[in-house]
Structure 1
Amino acid sequence: MHLKVGQVMTRLTICLYTHNTIEDALALMKEKKVPGLPLLTEQGHIQGMVSKEQILEKGLEGIAPEAKAVNYLTTRFIPVKEETLVEEVWDLPFELYPVLNSQDEITGVISKYQLGLALFQHSELRRQELEAVFDSAHNGILAINKQGIITSLNPAAEKPTRSTRAEAVGKFLTDVIIPTGLLEVVRSGVPAFGVKFQVGRRQYITNRTPIIKNGEVIGAVGVFQDVSEIEKTLQELRSVRHLNDQLKTIVDSSYDGIIICDDQGEILRCNPAVERILGLSAPELVGKHFRELVDRGLFANNIIQMVKKESGPANILERPYADHSLLITGNPVMDEEGEISKIVINIRDMSELLILREALEESKQLSQKYQSEIVELKNNIDPEFNLIVRSPAMEQVLELAQRVSKVDSPVVLIGENGVGKEEIARFVHQHSERKGSPFLKLNCGSVPEELLAQELFGGKSRSGRKSGLLERGHLGTLFLEEIEQMPLSLQSRLLRVMQDKELVPDEGQQALPADVRIIASTGQPLKELVDKGTFREDLFFRLNVVPIKIPALRERREDIIPLIHFFLKQNNKRYSLEKELASDSVELMLNYSWPGNVREMANIIERLVVTAEGKVIKAKEVNFVLYEREQDPERMVSVAGVIPLKDAIDEVEHQLVSLAMEKYGTTVKAAEALGVNQSTVVRKLKKLKET
């Protein structure tokens, strides 16, 4: 329903004329409680508008009560009709409007304030009506935003979701209910209609639609209806209206033999399957009593008598030792008085059923196998590796890692710092045939070349010969972090070990077995380094058999909330606390870019659990920790002139590394303060010394 001007205007029975004074005008405005009045000619035509605002613009000291109102007249006005919609007048430019009826007679005035108040009250009423409709709707309604957070849940949706509105709103969808496809609608922007799903024994049909604003998908809404009772009612209605057609269709198309008898056992109808099973045609059966078949030796027992005796279903196995064992089932059909009116006999050839059962059992076992593998990949949390997977992107990574673990090919993990490359490497090792052998790791950028060579290939030490990781990792897995930092001279030696599966410690010495699977990680594509000449092409081709790119946390936002809950639970258990995150705190984290990825999140959650004042971690505490570095005055960098950007970046890096080493003394602490790997600090110091 739309509001019209006539419904909210101030009606006037008297207007101003040219002979009226300012005193008359103000008195009438006060009486009618309006900010202005129309001024008419003696012939009744509107000449203009006189408002309090116009009077006060000339100053109170300049107002003479006996001055004519016409002196304060403005002809800048727009008359509106009583039938005009309020929202149309709201868009007009003036603060006061005269109102005319259908005969163009002045009937009142309306102000911008009245228009705004009317629109607000009307909108509030509509909001209340819509909220009442939403809450009283028979169908369940659930809405989420584009991050997958539940924003609305009506009472009808509480039963199928098994969650109250208070428990659900503000939570991530999959933390509350079994996924209903809404997340896919948000991602794709494509609606889905008439999708059925089941909760317990109840069946529901749902329509899922994206919420679009200014051409962008900002969420999705799912409307679902319990169709269990509806389908039951429709089935009963069809049974009453089309009983004969249904009976014929069922009887004729059933693979099992079906015989329909009256309450005395006379055969009324049978289907073609009976001829196949019993070797008798329909004319030989219809009109006969079932006991005649027993008398002829076709059956050993009279199922009709058994059904009548039990007043319910009866089952019996006929010809148990013959080639075709028959399972005979009799079901009574009751009339309105509860008496048996018909008996439906089902005859099933059990030999065929046994074949189907074997096939079904085989299919079931295969399904269980696949299901266990899917659960293993998608179970969200693998406590052994701290892997949380909800996003399709990470599901693909984990599925690929699972497949790769079954073979022995080298693997290159590509991704930013902190995305979980080591966890994926451990996952591959633990699911491979090498899981009983060592998993060793080495950061190629954290140690100098000579020490790196000794760590990898072994060498002489004060206490004798020291074995290297390639030797100690025989039959196991070696994880080489930052492989791009390995010097070229060592790259050729590593390639030789990978090809020969053996290691020659020193010239002239006997070769040692070194059957080690290499899993390498890098923050940038190795092909680019090959093109620059800083990485051997032959080693690249030997390593890059199976590259796995691990997306940054900001690229798989479905994992953010589950990761938050995982680290929160982990730290609560570690410190014997029961901290919780406020909903707006979770939203802050959801919108954060996480430049340090999962490693940064783990550190931040631990810090919040330890330092938060109350049980509930507030948004302001989260905001301070997330953006603390941005708020730190020491982070301000100033420049005095324009220089090449690369030179400026190098200079700032040199200054930061020098200050960090001067302040903290060790590369480990300096790296922690700078938010980078220790290897990065070592590399920057080396470059600083060279310059």
Structure 2
Amino acid sequence: MISLETLREMPFCSIIVNARGIIISLSGLSDQKLSEKIKIGMLIQNGFEKWETEKHSKIVRAQVDSMHYLFLREILCTSNEDQFVFIGVKTSEIFEMQNEMKELEKLNRELDAIIENSYDGIYITDNKGVTLKTNSAIERITGIPKDYYIGKNVDALIERGILKNSVTYKVVKQKRTVSLVQYNYAGKETLITGNPVFNEEGEIEKVVTNIRDLSDLNELQAQLRKANELNTKYKQELDRLKSKPNQTEGIVIHSEQMRIIYDTAERIAHVDATVLILGDTGVGKDVLAKHIFQKSPRSKEGEFIKVNCGAIPPDLLESELFGYEGGAFTGANRKGKPGIFEMADKGILFLDEIGELPLSLQVKLLRVIQEKEIQRIGGTKPIKVDVRLIAATNRNLKEMVMNGSFREDLFYRLNVIPIVIPSLKERRDDVLPLLQLFLNIMNTRYSLNKELDAKLIEFLFSFDWPGNIRELSNLVERLVLTSPTNTIRIEDLPVEYRETGDIPHFAASSIVSLKDAVEMAEENVLALALKKYKNTYDLAKALDTSQPTIVRKLKKYNLKTEQHS
């Protein structure tokens, strides 16, 4: 049943009939054709061309000309005889309403998606502070499910300690946007901004609050500061490397391999990790160990002590390393003697030829590394020592571990930072700078003024140097001392070198500077290599250098590969 008061408030056309179907009242007939056809006093069905009642339904389908209507039949509440009302609407209007509803639903979905996918928390209340809507971001920020907030007043949330303060009431009171910073229930620093939503009368009906997690922003700012600090540090390091000379404290680091090795050495100099230096005899393992010591803080507190494990008899090596107490054995000093580990306290102990260390002493060395303490021969109390170890060998320790002549646990304790120094023949870029270095040293040492013939320089550059740097240094000293003239020629080489058959047929019409000789040797070697190798990558691999270096050198000497001839 429906009342007249309700009927008047409806925005639809209505036709009131009596129990016999006679029209007794009309309202809302905005359509002209319908108002012309339908009159008071006539049977309602006579006013329509089509009047169909659905079975067991209050719905009536009607038609006037080409206009279709749907009517809902209801009993009208009056004090008179039974009356009925037909509430109708055009079907075209229904379709329009359906389209409008679909559009509204679409807009609502889009609005919900925007709110739900916002990175910031969104919190909507009415003007009384009752929560109407939130999004999932509020769960991430506060740690409390979003559904918990719905229907709860901000006063209750403050009492529970979930909110520290309410921006909603400040917005309602001040009728403007309000922001404040506070720590929430989860202990996160948040920026809260409340925005008022006004109705047509200018009164606040809702408050939309935006919650931003400042802890994330603060963390990003901290990471940015850290990144900027690292960038500054890297820039300083790059500037240092760019300005770094090729020779430092008598060490030649001209080749790319040696640059990498010594850069690594300087990076690890400030930590106490054990270093294992590998390489052939004479490549400069002890020089690298000293360099690490000189660059480390230990150089200001302790000593650099070198022990050649293969040069000391095994029965004496233990007492040398660990020391002994007075009377520990026949012939021992009555006062005892500290070992090398004690002497190297606060400094660096360089154990050269570690592969020669007997198995019995390997166990004791392992204990020193693990426990940071030693025990003298004949002693009963351990002695704490603060020593950084650098070990070196020209042997293959992995093979020794497999055949049982070197302890596996000791190998892994030593192999924390392995550094492999290539042989001199694998880094020929260092040969000529080393040659110049040793020549200067010998001339200064013996007050001489010797120079090298260009043909001899080429020989020394192309020689394979089985004894590596040590052999090169010894040969230069020998040539400086034995050559009869100030110009050292290839004829001054010792017999064993001249008999190698590797004497080059490079000729110079006169004595040239060492720099010119180096360039002539480089050009000659490149020209010879170009006969065998067809591209710059193969050339670089054969000459043990980088491809960009080969490209630069070929351009310098106007040489071309077959691909570019």
TM-score range, shorter chain: 0.3 to 0.5
Determine which structure has greater relative contact order: mean sequence separation of CA pairs < 8 Å that are 6+ residues apart, divided by chain length: 2
| Greater radius of gyration (CA) | 2
* TM-score normalised by length of structure 2: 0.45
